[in-house]
Homo-oligomer: A and B are copies of this chain.
Amino acid sequence: MEKVYIYDTTLRDGTQGEGISLSVDDKLKIARLLDRFGIHYIEGGWPGSNPKDMEFFQKVKKLSLKTSKITAFGSTRRPGVPAEKDENLQKILESGVETVAIFGKTWDFQVTHALNTTLDNNLDMIEDSVRYLKSHGLEVMFDAEHFFDGFKSNPEYALHALKRAEQAGADWIVLCDTNGGTLPDELAAIVKTVKEKLQTPIGVHCHNDSECAVANSLAAVRAGATQVQGTINGYGERCGNTNLISLIPNLQIKQGYVCVPEEKLRLLTSLSRQVHEIANVSPPNNQPFVGLSAFAHKGGMHVSAVLKSPETYEHLPPDQVGNARRVLVSELSGQSNLLYKARELNIELDKSNPACKSLIQKIKQMEHEGYQYEGAEASFELMLRQGLGETEEVFSLESIQILVEKTADAPVKMVAVIKMRVYDEVVHTAAEGNGPVHALDNALRKALSSFFPEIRKMQLTDYKVRVLNGEEATAAKVRVWIESSDGKNRWSTVGVSANIIEASWQALSDSMRYFLLYGKEPVAMK
């Protein structure tokens, strides 16, 4: 049971991917998820490169992570500048991390052509930088950029560069396939050679340009690497980095290595989907292990075979990675999932209750229409309690009008008019806003606040729009997701419609209804 350390660089290399952009807050949310999953190292950013990354390093300390070590990324010192005067290395120290990964050149051609210095100078830069950071008590990883290309071009020099990092006290030496072109056999042979020459533990950092990043990382581990770097869902520049979501179950379930605590593997699917959600990326249905189609069975022959003996068309049991089998006939998992959920929410529900069947029908119907309750558990709870006749009708809508007016250059003006019934009274009011949904939010809040002054304590803290079938462009369905908070608790709601106003109304009104009905009780942090 050999241990393989997992090093996540979603927050740094992942954001190099086209269309991936994370705010400091997004990064903190992801760090919390990674820590809970049991990832060993989280590369938070490059403190020398921009103020946003530095802000992350300050704020992440307050999260008091339990498992993950926060790591800073940076480069070796510049030519001609001593380590203690190098701004980039200073910023790493300032960031307050205990672990750092610094990259340096090991490809002779790169040293002379990109770095414009001599081969000897480069070796000094590596040794100095590692030694300096070690002298400040940090755990130091040396990322050998372009190592495989470097080794193929000049194996002696490439190995020599690693040796210098080792002599300076590096705790890890990480071999990078920076341009993603190396194939598994060749990569494994090189890792094996390096392993024989060094004492220091070895890591590997692969890119997916040849669609082999996962296989390359597996091959490296078999050849002796004990650390793998990658990103959640394989985000990263060009074609992405090693996808940890696929790598971890391959290593742990299929090859018997230990990466994360055994019980955490069941969080794999939810980790992948939550990170997609935060990064605003549509999860690919065919994503291995965690995709919606990964254990979906179409057509008669496969389905009946799978129901008889799942191993005929499933390479592992889907619940082992938190995913679920999907078959078109009689989804038996429905009921047990529902009972499990109800128990979680302290709702009494027995399988003999006739409401079970209609609730399962309802959930299927809603999910078919595009609702997703995974990240919107307040909407789910409302639906469940409604189905069981438990909720009270606090307010109901009579009508909404929204007027938008835009002229050539003046800012858009808009007003929302709302008419609703609160208990037995009719309220008719209006409010402005920055956009149609903002105006609606203001109007609804205004209408409710004379009855429920406590509504002023709650506010919307996040709002996301996802276009579900983008191919139909502006006529497509949208899913609106809202997160609210009363300062202590947070809850999330969802709405779906071809119309963004309608979808937003659903999520907004669910959020306020949830707060008014259950807001006094502590609500679990979602």
Contact = CB atoms under 8 A, between A and B. Distances in A.
B183 A436 contact: no
Contacts of A292: 18
B463 A467 contact: yes
A293 B207 CA distance: 13
Give 8 nearest A-B pairs by CB, closest first.
A181-B315, A215-B215, A460-B473, A211-B246, A402-B404, A462-B470, A438-B474, A435-B499
Contacts of A216: 215
Interface of A: 16-19, 21, 23, 25, 109-110, 113-114, 146, 149, 178-181, 183-185, 208-212, 214-216, 218-219, 222, 234, 237-240, 243, 246, 250, 254-255, 280, 282, 284-289, 291-299, 302, 305, 308-309, 311-316, 328, 372, 374-375, 396-408, 411-412, 414, 433-438, 440-441, 459-467, 469-471, 473-476, 478, 482-483, 497-502, 504-505, 508
Contact of A500 (B218, B311, B435, B505): B435
A406 B400 contact: yes
A179 B473 contact: no
Given A16-B299, A398-B407, A436 B313 contact: no
A500 B414 CA distance: 12
21 contacts: A16-B298, A19-B372, A179-B315, A185-B218, A210-B246, A210-B288, A210-B315, A211-B246, A211-B288, A237-B293, A238-B286, A284-B284, A398-B407, A400-B404, A406-B502, A434-B498, A462-B473, A463-B476, A464-B467, A465-B466, A473-B482
B437 A238 contact: no
A276 to B, nearest CB: 12
A341 to B, nearest CB: 15
Nearest to A296: B18
B179 A313 contact: yes
Contact of A209 (B288, B412, B437, B460): B288
Nearest to A331: B50
A374 to B, nearest CB: 6
Given A474-B438, A501-B436, A298 B237 contact: yes
A250 B210 contact: yes
Contact of A464 (B239, B309, B470): B470
A13 to B, nearest CB: 11
* Stoichiometry (number of copies): 2
A498 B459 CA distance: 18
Contacts of A179: 311-315
Contacts of A282: 470-471
Nearest to A234: B286
A91 to B, nearest CB: 16
A436 B474 CA distance: 9
Nearest to A438: B474
B209 A315 contact: yes
A316 B239 CA distance: 13
A469 B401 contact: no
- Among A180, A254, A465, max chain B CB count under 10 A is at A465
Contact of A470 (B434, B463, B502): B463
A308 B109 CA distance: 12
Given A293-B238, A405-B401, A434 B312 contact: no
Contacts of A294: 209, 238-239
A435 B468 CA distance: 14
Contact of A212 (B215, B240, B462): B215
Nearest to A23: B469
A19 to B, nearest CB: 6
Nearest to A420: B408
A403 B401 contact: yes
B399 A183 contact: no
- Among A211, A240, A411, max chain B CB count under 10 A is at A211
Nearest to A408: B397
Contact of A473 (B185, B212, B459): B459
A147 to B, nearest CB: 13
Contacts of A250: 183, 210-212
Nearest to A421: B408
Given A23-B470, A412-B501, 11 more contacts: A179-B314, A209-B289, A210-B315, A238-B295, A280-B466, A280-B471, A396-B408, A397-B407, A406-B502, A436-B501, A441-B473
Nearest to A25: B471
